[in-house]
Amino acid sequence: MHPAVQLGGSLLILTPFVLAQVGRLTTDALPYLLLNLIGSIVLAVDAAIGQQWGFLLLETVWAIVSGFSLARLVLRRHAAPDPE
């Protein structure tokens, strides 16, 4: 894939990571999880196309964990009663 795709995918993962490290975003926040999921999917696809098996494993697991965490967050928000 084009290097710009790799850089974009990497930035989608690194930006929320840096924001979490400096206290501007929590690791269970919707933007953090969503950006991690999208970035890891982009990089996993790139790794699959390039037959980079170790990188594919890393990004696939990253996407799975991000996806499960995102689903848990969404389910928890829908299960919580509305504060009125």
* 55 assigned to some structural domain: yes
Record the tokens describing residue 61, joined without a space.
Answer: 């697991």
Domain residue limits at 61: 7-79
pTM, whole model, 2 decimals? 0.87
* 62 assigned to some structural domain: yes
* 51 assigned to some structural domain: yes
Structural domain tally of the chain?
1
Confidence check: pLDDT of 80 > 80: no
* 56 assigned to some structural domain: yes
Q: What is the pLDDT of residues 7-62, one digit of tens each?
A: 999 999 999 999 999 999 999 999 999 999 999 999 999 999 999 999 999 999 99
Burial class (CB in 10 A: 0-12, 13-18, 19+), 34: middle
Taking the CB of residue 67, how many other CB atoms lie within 10 A of it?
15
Please report the pLDDT score of residue 2 as a whole number: 81
What number is the average pLDDT over the span 56-82?
92
